[in-house]
Amino acid sequence: MKALMLEAYEHLQVIDMPVPAVAPDEVLIKVAACGICGSDVHGYDGGSGRRIPPIVMGHEAAGIIAAVGSDVQGYKAGDRVTFDSTVYCGKCEFCKRGEVNLCDNRQVMGVSCGDYRRHGAFAEFVAVPERILYKLPENFPFEEAAMLEAVAVALHGVRVSQLKPGDSALVIGAGMIGLLTAQAARAAGARSVTIADVDAARLQMAVDVGIPDTLHLSGNDLIAEILRRTGNLGVDVVLEAVGRAETVVASIECVRRGGTVGLIGNIQPEVPLPLQRVVTREVRLQGSCSSAGEYVEAIRLMSEGAITVKPLISAVSTLEEAADWFARLHAREAGLLKVVVAPGKEN
C-alpha cells in the first residue's frame, strides 16, 4: 500500500509499505479521509516530541472496513466507520470508569514517542481494534467524518466544564478546536456564546458556522470588554482553546466568581498562575484531554446540523499532494485551517 511517511522532521515522502496485519480483535480499514491535525503539524517539525521519525501520522480518519479479525463480532467488511484516536486497553481502572482518555496503557494513532510507535491513517489502509470503532450513517460524507475526532474533543471540553443550559460562555481561540467548541457550547444550551481571537479571518469562520458574536481582541482589551458586557461580573464559563500564558490568564480574569475555566489548549507546557485570583474568587480550573466516548454524540449533532464542519475544510488532498499542504500549514498560510487527505483520491 501507499503511505505518507515522516522520514525526517519536515520531510514527508509517499512510500510503499506492507498492508497492516490484522489481529483477531482488529479490523482493516480502507482509509477514505484523514484530517491533518494541528498536533500533526507540531509533530512534523519535531516541536511536540511525539512524532519521532519514521512514522505514518494521522488520527482523524474514516473509511470502509476491508477485512475483520477472527474475534470481531459487531462489524463486517463494507461497514462505513470512524474510530477513536485513542487506543485504550479497556481493562485498567480508568477504562472501567469510562475515562478511556486517561487509560493507563493509552496509545494514540499516528504517534511515536519514547514509549511506543503506532502508525496512523495517512495511508491506504490502517488496522484498529474493534473497541474503538463507531459506525457512520450511510449519507455521512467521509471528508466531514474526518472531523469527528475534533468535534468529540470539543464536546468533551464542554462536558467536563459542566456548562449548564442558560450559562454564558466565552471561547478564547478561533482555531479548529475553538470553532468547534463554540458550536458545542451552543448545542449544550448556552444562552450566549462569544468567541475571541486575534485573527479576523478565523473570526469570520466563526460567523460562517453560526457563531456571530465575535471579538477581535486579546489580553487586557478582551478582559475589559467582557467585564463591560457583563456588568463587571464575568461569564459563567470560559473555554480556553489556545494554551498560552496570556490566554490562560485572560480566561481567569474573564470568568465570574465561582465560574469555570475549561483548559483545552495545550501549547505551552507551563504557564504562570494568578493563584490568589483563582483562590479568592473560587474559580474552578478544569483540564480537558482528548475525548471519552463523545463520538456517538458528535455523529448525531453533525447529522442533525447542530454542528457544522464543511466551511472549515480548506482543501481535500491526495497522498501525493499532502507534503505540500503540511508545509503550507506549518507556515501558517493565511486562511488555511483544515486540510483533509483522501488516500484514494486521484491527482
pLDDT, one tens digit per residue, over 283-303 is 999 999 999 999 999 999 999
Instruction: Identify whether residues 125 and 39 lie together within a single domain.
Output: yes
Instruction: Identify whether residues 141 and 19 lie together within a single domain.
Output: yes
Instruction: Identify whether residues 77 and 187 lie together within a single domain.
Output: no
Instruction: Identify whether residues 124 and 170 lie together within a single domain.
Output: no
Instruction: Identify whether residues 90 and 121 lie together within a single domain.
Output: yes
Predicted confidence at residue 114, as pLDDT, reads 85
Of the pLDDT bands very low, low, confident and very high (cuts 50, 70, 90), residue 48 is confident
Cα atoms found within 13 Å of the Cα of residue 100, Cβ hemisphere only: 20
Lowest mean pLDDT among 153-157, 167-171, 267-271: 267-271
E strands along the chain, which residues?
A: 2-8, 11-16, 26-35, 55-56, 60-68, 80-83, 86-87, 107-108, 111-112, 117-118, 125-129, 133-135, 168-172, 192-196, 214-215, 235-240, 255-263, 284-287, 313-317, 338-341
Phi, psi of 141 (to 5 degrees): -65, 135
Q: Which residues contact 15 (CB under 8 A, 6 or more apart)?
A: 2, 3, 5, 7
Q: What is the mean pLDDT of the chain?
A: 96
What would the mean pLDDT of 37-43 be, rounded to a whole number? Answer: 92
Residue 294 domain-assigned (yes or no): no
Instruction: Identify whether residues 213 and 137 lie together within a single domain.
Output: no
Instruction: Identify whether residues 128 and 174 lie together within a single domain.
Output: no
Residue 292 domain-assigned (yes or no): no
Is residue 61 within 8 A of residue 48, CB to CB? The reply is no
Q: Residue 347 pLDDT more than 80?
A: no
Residue 6 domain-assigned (yes or no): yes
Q: Which residues contact 53 (CB under 8 A, 6 or more apart)?
A: 5, 6, 7, 8, 9, 11, 112
Rg (CA), the chain: 20
Of the pLDDT bands very low, low, confident and very high (cuts 50, 70, 90), residue 47 is confident
Of the pLDDT bands very low, low, confident and very high (cuts 50, 70, 90), residue 344 is confident
Alpha helices in 18-121 (DSSP H): 38-44, 93-96
Structural domains in the chain (count): 2
Residue 303 domain-assigned (yes or no): no
Of the pLDDT bands very low, low, confident and very high (cuts 50, 70, 90), residue 268 is confident
Q: Residue 191 pLDDT more than 90?
A: yes
How far apart CA 216 and CA 242 sit, in angstroms, is: 15
Question: Nearest-CA neighbor of 157 among 255, 251, 271, 291?
Answer: 291
Residue 213 DSSP symbol: -
Instruction: Identify whether residues 188 and 90 lie together within a single domain.
Output: no
Of the pLDDT bands very low, low, confident and very high (cuts 50, 70, 90), residue 85 is very high
Instruction: Identify whether residues 24 and 101 lie together within a single domain.
Output: yes
List the beta bridge partners of residue 135. 81
The percent of residues above 90 in pLDDT, for the chain, comes to: 95
Range of the domain at 185: 153-287
Q: Which residues contact 65 (CB under 8 A, 6 or more apart)?
A: 27, 28, 29, 30, 75, 76, 77, 78, 79, 81
Is residue 283 within 8 A of residue 259, CB to CB? The reply is yes
Q: How many CB atoms lie within 10 A of CB 246?
A: 16
Q: Whole-model pTM above 0.85?
A: yes
Q: Is the peptide bond before 24 cis (omega within 30 degrees of 0)?
A: no
What would the mean pLDDT of 30-35 be, rounded to a whole number? Answer: 98
E strands along 109-244, which residues?
A: 111-112, 117-118, 125-129, 133-135, 168-172, 192-196, 214-215, 235-240
SS3 283: coil
Residue 302 domain-assigned (yes or no): no
